[in-house]
């Protein structure tokens, strides 16, 4: 049956299947949703950007207990991932500066 479809119809079928899949996935909760204090993957990515923006590269992998606490989403990937977080953090810092501020007060 699929081979009987025209090339145009195949593209439409693939597009609609992709939209359906994205819609189904988009309505589900993310990893760690509403589970304090870590809150899942989004918080991990935000925290890694926070670490790389506010600490020197030599401190990214050092557990100092207060700011870079190994029990709260430590940067545990190779340094290339740290630099990727730093690069994205540069952008986020200009758009939402307080979102990456170490110990920033939320009002």
**DSSP annotation string for 49-96:** HHHHHHS-GGGTT---SSSS-TTS----S-HHHHHHHHHHHHHHHHHS
Q: pTM here?
A: 0.65
Same domain, 64 and 90: yes
What is the structure's pLDDT at 57?
92
From the CB of residue 75, how many other CB atoms can be counted at a distance below 10 Å? 22
The answer on pLDDT for 105 being more than 60 is no
47 contacts: CB under 8 Å, gap ≥ 6: 72, 73
Query: What range defines the domain where residue 86 resides?
Result: 41-100
Per-residue model confidence (pLDDT) at position 2: 59
User: Are 45 and 89 in a shared domain?
Assistant: yes
92 shares a domain with 49: yes
In a shared domain, residues 82 and 59? yes
pLDDT of residue 106: 47
Would you say residue 95 lies in a domain? Answer: yes
CA distance 30 to 43: 11
- Alpha carbon of residue 64 to chain centroid: 23
Residue-wise pLDDT tens digits, 42-76? 888 988 999 999 889 988 988 877 777 778 888 88
Q: pLDDT tens across 1-34, in order?
A: 556 788 888 999 999 999 999 888 877 777 777 7
Task: Indicate if 48 and 95 belong to the same structural domain.
Answer: yes
CA distance 89 to 85: 6
Claim to verify: residue 59 and residue 90 sit in the same structural domain: yes
Q: Are residues 70 and 91 both part of a single domain?
A: yes
Q: Which two tokens stand for residue 55?
A: 């600490």
């Amino acid at each position: 049956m699929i081979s009987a479809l025209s090339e145009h119809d195949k593209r439409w079928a693939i597009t609609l299947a992709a939209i359906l899949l994205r819609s189904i996935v988009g309505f589900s909760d993310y990893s760690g949703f509403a589970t304090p204090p870590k809150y899942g993957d989004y918080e991990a990515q935000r925290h890694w950007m926070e670490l790389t923006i506010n600490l020197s590269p030599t401190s990214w992998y050092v557990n100092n207990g207060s700011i870079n606490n190994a029990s709260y989403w430590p940067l545990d990937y190779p340094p290339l991932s740290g630099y990727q977080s730093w690069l994205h953090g540069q952008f986020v810092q200009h758009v939402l500066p307080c979102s990456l501020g170490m110990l920033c007060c939320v009002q």
